[in-house]
Amino acid sequence: MLFSEFVGSRAAQQRYWARSYLGWRRIGTAAPNAGHQALVKLERHGLLGVITQNVDGLHAAAGSARVINLHGEIAAVICLDCGDRSDRAEVQHRLALLNPHLSEAPQLEHAELRPDGDAMVERWDDFVLADCRLCGGRLKPDVVFFGESVPKPRVQRCYSLVDEAEILLVVGSSLTVMSGLRFVRYQWKQQRPVVIINRGQTRGDDFATIKIDGGCSETLTSILQRCQP
């Protein structure tokens, strides 16, 4: 959903939150993979930090010490009106209390996945939104929507991290969005090395000192095996 669409109408917010509410149960089941774990181990070999475009919190869950969540975190919620930040699990609990008809119908989770989800559309109109505890304002998951910019202080922290490092290593991103690509261009302009590991082309390939066309987990694991213990 576009940011403008989300903020533009309460109906769009109902649609978004209803789907998000029903999908939330599936999110908790994701676990860090070998790639996440390899990045944690690479800290012993000089990796300074991770800038991630993922919103799933799995780098922190794997144990990465320094993570900047460029596009936010799905586990957090912000108020569009006063900026208050709260826990997604707490909002989920409030949504369950506000929408008992959905909580008692777990089969709707599957209905929602059907392409002909007309019944679900009607339900969206009934969906009761949770408002900000402090100001009664509009809540939004703390993730950057399409058409929304990354908060400037966060972008600045990323540039600082890139400046601190010697090499910018891109892992598993096609860099299709400018929010990530700009750091590659920045590093390239400073005439510092850019290494890209990705299966297939990326928008950053022209700026890469080294490009490895391969899977992230396999490549990182293989790099680790070659590192001195």
Residues with a catalytic annotation lie at 71
| Part of the chain binding Zn ion (CB under 5 A), chosen from 66-74, 137-145, 164-172, 173-181 | 137-145
Nearest Cα residue to 79 out of 138, 149, 159:
138
| Part of the chain binding Zn ion (CB under 5 A), chosen from 43-51, 93-101, 131-139, 177-185 | 131-139
Report in angstroms how near the CB of residue 133 gets to Zn ion at its nearest: 8
Nearest Cα residue to 127 out of 107, 146, 99:
99
Residue from 2, 30, 65, 82 in contact with Zn ion (CB under 5 A): 82
Report in angstroms how near the CB of residue 125 gets to Zn ion at its nearest: 24
Q: Which residue has the tokens 């402090």?
A: 134
Task: Assess 79 for contact with Zn ion (CB under 5 A).
Answer: yes
Q: Please tell me the distance from the alpha carbon of residue 27 to that of residue 146, in angstroms, as a whole number.
A: 20
Q: How far apart are the first and last CA of the chain?
A: 46
Report in angstroms how near the CB of residue 99 gets to Zn ion at its nearest: 21
Task: Assess 134 for contact with Zn ion (CB under 5 A).
Answer: yes
Task: Assess 11 for contact with Zn ion (CB under 5 A).
Answer: no
Burial-class residue 139 by CB neighbours within 10 Å (0-12, 13-18, 19+). Answer: buried
Q: Please tell me the distance from the alpha carbon of residue 66 to that of residue 100, in angstroms, as a whole number.
A: 39
Task: Assess 137 for contact with Zn ion (CB under 5 A).
Answer: yes
Nearer to Zn ion, 81 or 205 (CB): 81
Do 216 and 202 meet the contact criterion of CB atoms below 8 Å apart?
no
Nearer to Zn ion, 56 or 148 (CB): 148
> Taken in order 56, 60, 62, 65, is the CA torsion positive or negative?
positive
Do 8 and 16 meet the contact criterion of CB atoms below 8 Å apart?
no
Nearer to Zn ion, 119 or 134 (CB): 134
Task: Assess 84 for contact with Zn ion (CB under 5 A).
Answer: yes
Task: Assess 5 for contact with Zn ion (CB under 5 A).
Answer: no
Interface residue list for Zn ion (CB under 5 A): 79, 81-82, 84, 132, 134-135, 137
